[in-house]
Amino acid sequence: MTSSPHIFEVTVENFEADVIAASDQTPIVLDFWAPWCGPCKTLTPILEKLAAEYGGRFRLAKVNSDEQQEIAGMFGIRSIPTVIALKGQKPVSAFQGAQPESAVRQFLDKIVPSESDERLGKAVAKLDAGDINGAVDELKVALAINPQLDAARVMLADVAMRDNRIDEAKAYLEACSPMTRMEEDFQRVATKILAAEEAGNSPEAAALKARIDKDANDHDARYHLAAVYAAQNQYEPAFQTLLESVQLDRAWNEQAAKKRMVEYFSLANEQPELVRRYRQALAATLN
């Protein structure tokens, strides 16, 4: 019995939870073996070594075919060793017989996520949890590991647009490959940048920004600038503009900026994460 967190023995009792259900989150590699099997004694140590080396990118599930005949029967095991990889509760790859370490590595590399992809997944989870800074850190590490990872660039551009950092967002997109530029996520962020530029560069917006640059406490200008952004469905800069007004003077015009933010929250219901983030920011400002 191994003490590694990445290796475990499979029984009928833990099969459903630790193998089938768990494969939705992490690839599970089933190693069907038996104590009397000579080739198993060569293959299993290789699998155990790589499970430790890969550090949790997959979990090795060891099935003693003599003791767990019901599980072996589920997979139609006729000879051992047999190795089957599960992802999303389905077998995705398999091989039989002892294999050299190089061949086992090739097998694993086709089914386990790369380190950069894992970072990308962590970034998505952190964005969903509202940890913007943590997500940015994960994305930058992913790019450092794999400079070709345009998915990270597109996500970083999208994050930059949350604070209307248009130049930064454009720089990330400009570094993407021609193939990436054809993808839906790229086009979505590019459209967001274009709309933000159109809203921000309108004569009305330019005049309002000039007033704010001249007088940071020109709440009337902020109030109307937010309306210009909202008219273009640019709710992130609209929320940010109103939030700044509340931070400077929450009582201005009978809390008009706060009330307008709340109104816009209902209009931006197709962006629940954005609304949640600014609801939290508004509550933190008012408390």
Task: Give the C-alpha separation, 197 to 52, whole Å.
Answer: 50
Say whether 176 is catalytic: no
Residue 112 DSSP SS3: coil
**DSSP label at residue 18:** I
* Token pair 């990872």: residue: 149
Tell me how far the alpha carbon of residue 284 is from its chain's centroid: 26
Which residue in 7, 22, 28, 40 is the catalytic one?
A: 40
User: Is 37 one of the annotated active-site residues of the chain?
Assistant: yes
In one-letter notation, the amino acid at residue 85 is A
Residues contacting 265, CB < 8 A, separation 6+: 275, 278, 279
Residue pair 267/230 in contact by the 8 Å Cβ criterion: yes
In this structure, what DSSP letter does residue 165 have?
-
CB 264 within 8 A of CB 235: yes
| Position 135, amino acid | A
Q: Give the whole-angstrom CA distance, residue 278 versus residue 261.
A: 9
**Residues involved in catalysis:** 37, 40
